[in-house]
């Protein structure tokens, strides 16, 4: 029995070569490639401009490992959370985040996560595997369809802020972004895509060297090493100075400023010294700051800081001409907000 291959792991050139070796014309590979990507076909039977014999031959040799939206939850604020079942029955989550003017897809890059950030629900799931490029791509397609259905316009933006650390699945994430931005895929602008990372210096430098066109966000949460390490153990391996060196390199190569994602927690990083440290760090690289509302993950160890603490941060940043935005969380009632993705669907 022939072991079927994942057809979307093949390049267009490999598909063309397959058809030539099968005695067909190379353009047939172009047709199939279009069905697989820009038309997001779920099965070979969907490929209606290809003969039944050719479709049967494809069925004998290949599989389309398409994702399935196994469960969809809608929040009171319009946010949608998808439980995505993969071909091997593992599950990840993705989120559609609507505003009055746009819709954003928050997509996952790994099943689980290995980084152990103490405030994040996903970190409590062990990392099972990386997602393939097509599995990342399919999340975006599904959310684009939901955006059109429920919000009457196509998907506007994509953030890699779902389950997993994108830079620990580097090759697959970049392949997915290449297809999302390709005219042969979804044709989205790279400027509307943001990759969010805990900050892995060597991989940030690699992205800069490869001249990627998407935006970079870094989960910072403290500009004091001992505080950041308490929340994010990876800071022991790559401290704030090493991260800063990589971010300065990123800006030197790309000329695009970084977004710092920053949560303020009660009794952890809510003092004036914490805000001052952030200001000093921000002055060293062109950036803006998103202050993010914290979303509890049941145990109460981390608690949202007071409004006064948030105001103190805003004042400190704005008085130093650093752009700051306060991000209110969406989808909290269905555990779809930032840091809550942990395959909780009930």
User: What is the band of 100 on the pLDDT scale with cuts at 50, 70, 90?
Assistant: confident
Q: Which fold has domain 5-63?
A: DNA polymerase; domain 1 (1.10.150)
Q: Is 99 or 245 the better-scoring residue by pLDDT?
A: 245
Dihedral in degrees, nearest 10, Cα atoms 12, 17, 19, 24: 120
261 catalytic? Reply is no
Q: Measuring CA to CA, which residue among 136, 9, 26, 133 is closest to residue 61?
A: 9
Name the catalytic one among 53, 59, 93, 308.
93
Question: Can you tell me the distance from the alpha carbon of 216 to that of 193, in angstroms, rounded to the nearest whole number?
Answer: 9
- The CA distances from residue 324 to 106, 288, 289, 315, 316, in Å, are 21, 6, 5, 9, 10
- The CA distances from residue 270 to 87, 176, 263, 265, 307, in Å, are 44, 38, 10, 6, 10
pLDDT higher than 80, residue 301: no
Instruction: Break the chain into its structural domains and give their ranges.
Output: 5-63, 68-334
Flag whether the pTM goes above 0.95. Answer: no
Q: Count CB neighbours of 174 within 10 A.
A: 19
Lowest mean pLDDT among 38-42, 247-251, 339-343: 339-343
Mean of the per-residue pLDDT values of the chain = 90
Lowest mean pLDDT among 135-139, 231-235, 256-260, 339-343: 339-343
Rounded average pLDDT over 183-197:
97
Which pLDDT value is given to residue 134? 97
User: What is the band of 116 on the pLDDT scale with cuts at 50, 70, 90?
Assistant: low
Which pLDDT value is given to residue 341? 44
Question: Can you tell me the distance from the alpha carbon of 171 to that of 238, in angstroms, rounded to the nearest whole number?
Answer: 21
Question: Can you tell me the distance from the alpha carbon of 106 to that of 95, in angstroms, rounded to the nearest whole number?
Answer: 5
pLDDT higher than 60, residue 11: yes
**Assigned token pair, 34:** 């279009």
Is 155:140 a contact under the CB 8 Å cutoff?
Answer: yes
User: What is the band of 75 on the pLDDT scale with cuts at 50, 70, 90?
Assistant: confident
- Give one DSSP letter per residue of 235-290, joined into a string: GGTS-HHHHHHHHHHHHHHH--PEEEEEE-BTTTS-SHHHHHHHHHHHTTS-EEEE
pLDDT tens profile 205-234: 999 999 999 999 999 999 999 999 988 888
Strands 5-6 and 157-160, by their bridges, are: unpaired
- Which of 115-124, 127-136, 210-219, 321-330 tops mean pLDDT? 210-219
Which pLDDT value is given to residue 300? 63
- Which of 123-132, 203-212, 327-336 tops mean pLDDT? 203-212
pLDDT higher than 70, residue 118: no
Lowest mean pLDDT among 58-62, 111-115, 134-138, 241-245: 111-115
338 catalytic? Reply is yes
User: What is the band of 282 on the pLDDT scale with cuts at 50, 70, 90?
Assistant: very high
Q: Which fold has domain 68-334?
A: TIM Barrel (3.20.20)
Lowest mean pLDDT among 122-131, 152-161, 245-254: 122-131
Which pLDDT value is given to residue 174? 98
Q: Residues near 220 by Cβ (< 8 Å), separated by ≥ 6?
A: 199, 228, 260, 261, 262, 278, 281
Strands 62-63 and 5-6, by their bridges, are: parallel
Which pLDDT value is given to residue 327? 82
Which pLDDT value is given to residue 125? 63
Q: State phi, psi for 68 to the nearest 5 degrees.
A: -130, 130
pLDDT tens profile 79-90: 999 999 999 999
Start-to-end Cα distance in the chain: 41
* Per-residue exposure over 23-51, b if at least 16 CB sit within 10 Å of its own CB, e if not: eeeeebbebbbbbbbbebbeebeebeebe
Which pLDDT value is given to residue 297? 58
Name the catalytic one among 113, 282, 287, 338.
338
């Amino acid at each position: 029995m022939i072991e079927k291959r994942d057809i979307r792991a093949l390049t267009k050139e490999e598909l063309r070569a397959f058809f030539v070796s099968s005695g067909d014309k190379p353009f047939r590979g172009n047709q199939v490639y279009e069905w697989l990507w820009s038309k997001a076909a779920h099965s070979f039977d969907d490929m209606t401009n290809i003969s039944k014999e050719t479709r049967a031959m494809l069925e004998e040799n290949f599989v389309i490992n398409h994702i399935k939206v196994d469960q969809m939850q809608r929040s009171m604020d319009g946010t949608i959370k998808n439980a995505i079942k993969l071909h091997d029955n593992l599950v990840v989550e993705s989120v559609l985040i609507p505003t009055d003017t746009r819709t954003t897809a928050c997509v996952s890059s790994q099943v689980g996560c290995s980084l152990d950030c103490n405030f994040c629900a996903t970190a409590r799931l062990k990392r099972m595997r990386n997602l393939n490029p097509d599995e990342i791509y399919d999340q975006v397609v599904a959310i684009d369809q939901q955006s059109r259905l429920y919000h009457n316009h196509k998907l506007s933006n994509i953030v890699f802020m779902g389950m997993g650390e994108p830079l620990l699945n580097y090759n697959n994430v970049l392949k997915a972004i290449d297809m999302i931005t390709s005219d042969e895929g979804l044709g989205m602008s790279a400027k509307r895509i943001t990759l969010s990372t805990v900050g892995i210096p060597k991989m940030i430098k690699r992205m800069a060297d490869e001249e990627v066109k998407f935006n970079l966000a870094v989960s910072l949460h403290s500009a004091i090493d001992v505080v950041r390490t308490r929340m994010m153990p990876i800071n022991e391996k790559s401290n704030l100075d090493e991260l800063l060196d990589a971010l300065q390199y990123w800006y030197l190569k790309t000329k695009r400023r970084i977004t710092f994602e920053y949560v303020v927690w009660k009794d952890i990083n809510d003092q004036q010294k914490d805000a001052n440290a952030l200001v000093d760090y921000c002055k060293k690289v062109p950036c803006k700051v998103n202050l993010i509302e914290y979303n509890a993950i049941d145990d109460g160890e981390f608690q949202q800081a007071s409004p006064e603490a948030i105001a103190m941060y805003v004042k400190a940043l704005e008085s130093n001409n650093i752009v700051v935005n306060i991000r209110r969380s969406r989808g909290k009632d269905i555990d779809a907000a930032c840091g809550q993705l942990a395959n909780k669907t009930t």
